[in-house]
Structure 1
Amino acid sequence: MPAQSDPRATLRGGLPDRYLTPDDIAELLAVPLETVYQWRKKRTGPPGFRVGKHLRYDPTAVHGWINDQMNADAQRAA
């Protein structure tokens, strides 16, 4: 079984080798953990899902959300 990897490397690899935690998202985007939870509460952040009481994120969905944010920002700047 492969060792746990840096979440940024997981996204660069294209396919998830594990689901990401809120801590991974905060580290990946260099934002406070509370910001990740506020995005979840306001439904403005990357889509997550619950596994029991644990919140997880699919790296592919997170990558898509990041691309959407970049495209929206580029359109606002144009």
Structure 2
Amino acid sequence: MTVQSIGAQPGRTVPVLLTPEEVADMLRIPVRSLYVQRSAGRPTPPGVKIGRHLRYRLTDVEAWLDEQFGSAA
């Protein structure tokens, strides 16, 4: 995925926001597992509620994944 500039001011990029379904797909886990792990306080990518919708920044998910692989080594 790439950074999109839809609706952005010239020279400013807008972060790519992912849905829980997209994050689960990236992690190759069921969406339900993502929600269960998050509610149980287990490590998950940092997300934010926008209204009643949960969203993740692509850069945060990628950084979280790098951190998880770094701690496993």
Structure 1 consecutive aligned stretches of length 4 or more whose deviation exceeds 6 Å: none
Q: Does 1:52 align with 2:58?
A: no
C-alpha contact 1:19 1:59 (8 A) present in aligned 2: yes
How far the C-alpha of 1:67 sits from its partner, in A, is: 0.5
Letter in 1 for 2:25: E
**Identical pairs, percent:** 35
Q: If the length of structure 1 is used for normalisation, what is the TM-score?
A: 0.70
Q: Give unmatched runs, 5+ long, in structure 1.
A: 1-8
Q: Which moved more, 1:20-29 or 1:34-43?
A: 34-43
CA RMSD of aligned residues (A): 1.9
Give the paired residue count. 63
Distance in 2, Cα, partners of 1:35 & 1:17: 25
Distance in 2, Cα, partners of 1:57 & 1:33: 13
Q: If the length of structure 2 is used for normalisation, what is the TM-score?
A: 0.75
